[in-house]
Amino acid sequence: MAKKIILNALVFFMLPFMGSTQTAEKTTIINKTLMLQATIAPAYLFHHKGIWNSYFHCTLEWCFDNHVSIRADGSYFFTTQGDYKPFKMDHSLLLGAFYHFPISTKGDFYVGLQPGAAIVQQNAYTFNDSTISNPKVKVAPVITAAIGLNYFFWKYMNLFVALKYLHGNHVSQYGNAIPLDEIRISAGLGWQIHFRKRNPDKKK
């Protein structure tokens, strides 16, 4: 089920890029561009035979040129689907670098790595016949690998879709560590501002 949703999301958002060329005259210009994107992101956590988490997800990205950028991600955990809810809190902050492949006049494909930290608190649980009613909040190091697509449909706005694999472990106060490994899916609307200087030789 999770794989089907992920594949459908990728196919849907790749449609605007079909048939595009990669000539020098037809590439997206993201040089000196600041991008902000925000959405509600579902995530498939592999722990306990697989469960779905949901996050408010926001990114802030600066493109140094047409290929290299640095991006900060923030994810605010707010719910888990189903009866099994291991976490009361699972927020994360990430910072990393991305490499972009402009693939059309409005299309941009990218890959990147982001290390960071997750702020995690478990819900109440039982350990050795004792109830841990108020587990401590802990910080866990995490790292992510991401791929994504941007579609710049207007000078100041874009549509985006991204897949991110997050790896990390929450060390419980009592008991075994809980893997934080999950696939996060992001799609929505973004904004951008261009700071590059206008070419004085370019005809209006």
What digits encode the pLDDT tens for the residues 156-184? 999 999 999 999 999 988 878 899 999 99
Tokens of 176: 């075994």
pLDDT tens digits, 69-99: 999 999 999 999 988 899 999 999 999 999 9
Establish if 123 belongs to a structural domain.
yes
Establish if 182 belongs to a structural domain.
yes
pLDDT tens digits, 25-80: 456 789 999 999 999 999 999 988 889 999 999 999 999 999 999 999 999 999 99
Q: Exposure of 48 by Cβ count < 10 A (0-12 exposed, 13-18 middle, 19+ buried)?
A: exposed
Establish if 73 belongs to a structural domain.
yes
Q: Which of 75, 65, 51 is nearest to 164 (CA)?
A: 75
Residue 204 banded pLDDT, cuts 50, 70, 90:
very low
Residue 118 has a pLDDT of 97
Domain housing 174: 2-14+27-194
CATH of the domain at 37: 2.40.160.20
Establish if 203 belongs to a structural domain.
no
What total of structural domains would you count in the chain? Answer: 1
Residue 156 has a pLDDT of 94
Tokens of 133: 């009613």
The CA-based dihedral angle spanning residues 52, 13, 109, 23, taken in that order and rounded to the nearest 10 degrees = 170
pTM for the structure as a whole: 0.81
Establish if 176 belongs to a structural domain.
yes
Tokens of 117: 């930290």
Establish if 20 belongs to a structural domain.
no
**DSSP per-residue letters across the chain:** -HHHHHHHHHHHHHGGGTT----TTS----TTEEEEEEEEEEEEE-GGG-EEEEEEEEEEEEESSSSEEEEEEEEEEEEESSS---EEEEEEEEEEEEEEEE-SSSEEEEEEEEEEEEEEEEPPEEETTEEE-SPPPEEEEEEEEEEEEEEEEETTEEEEEEEEEEEEEE--SSS--EE--EEEEEEEEEEEEE-SPP-TTS--
Tokens of 132: 């841990």
Establish if 101 belongs to a structural domain.
yes
Please give the span between the terminal C-alpha atoms of the chain, in angstroms, as a whole number.
50
